[in-house]
């Protein structure tokens, strides 16, 4: 068993109340990602140890879901909704316009200064706001939902984010 470092102890304490059982796996993954913004190798090992599962099983389950990530997020993450209602409202145009402003090639890329990344998101039922994006600020642990976007508005938004001039204007929630 690896040495119990301070980081491992902190991860372990996050999931200490979960009984060893693979039915608790998603709960454990969610707690760790919520706390750190991603699932490190160390975190996956600790979860596997605590739930008495094979690390490969834990990694396999986590990699099945889009919302889990395995590297630290950029300072600001633009989560672009790929759901059908947003697609009907030209979300592809919004995605392409924002990628161009950030000078990114595709979803999953991040800017060289690690300030902004754009990733794929799934419909969460807020389709009345289609087309929408979520702007997630890692330090504040805040998520701003910005909906009913047009391409023009998306470009303005992306420029403001790039210039550090973005002010929350959607519905902000913690995440
Ligand atoms: S399709 Fe985008 S929020 Fe439902």
Ligand 1 is surrounded, with C-beta below 6 A, by 81, 83-86, 123-124, 126-127, 130, 132
Which of 80, 123, 145, 147 maximizes ligand 1 atoms within 8 Å of its Cβ, making it the mutation to test the pocket? Answer: 123
Q: What is the CATH code for 76-174?
A: 3.40.30.10
Q: Could you report the per-residue pLDDT of 127-146, keeping only the tens digit for each? A: 999 999 999 987 777 889 99
Helix axes 41-51, 55-64, angle to 10 degrees: 120
Write down the pTM of the prediction.
Answer: 0.73
CA angle (25 as vertex; 19, 31 as ends), nearest 5: 95
Q: Which atom of ligand 1 is nearest to the CA of 121?
A: 2
Domains of the chain, by residue range, sit at 6-64, 76-174
Residues 43, 10: Cα–Cα separation, whole Å: 10
Q: Which CATH number fits domain 6-64: 3.30.930, 1.10.3470, 1.10.10, 3.40.220?
A: 1.10.10
Q: Could you report the per-residue pLDDT of 65-83, keeping only the tens digit for each? A: 878 889 888 999 999 999 9
């Amino acid at each position: 068993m690896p040495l119990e470092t301070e980081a491992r102890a902190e991860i372990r304490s996050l999931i200490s109340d979960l009984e060893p059982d693979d039915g608790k796996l998603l709960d454990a993954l969610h707690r760790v990602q919520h706390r750190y913004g991603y699932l490190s190798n160390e975190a996956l090992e600790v979860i596997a140890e605590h739930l008495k599962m094979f690390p490969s099983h834990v990694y396999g389950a986590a990699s099945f879901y889009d919302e889990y990530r395995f590297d630290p997020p950029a300072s600001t993450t633009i989560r672009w909704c790929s759901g059908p209602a947003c697609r009907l409202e030209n979300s592809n145009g919004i995605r392409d316009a924002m990628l161009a402003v950030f000078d990114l090639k595709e979803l999953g890329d991040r800017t060289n200064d690690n300030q902004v990344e754009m990733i794929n998101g799934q419909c969460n039922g807020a389709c009345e706001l289609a087309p929408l994006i979520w702007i997630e600020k890692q330090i504040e642990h805040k998520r701003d939902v910005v909906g009913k976007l047009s391409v023009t508005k998306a470009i303005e938004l992306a420029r403001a984010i790039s210039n550090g001039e973005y002010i929350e204007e959607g519905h902000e929630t913690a995440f």
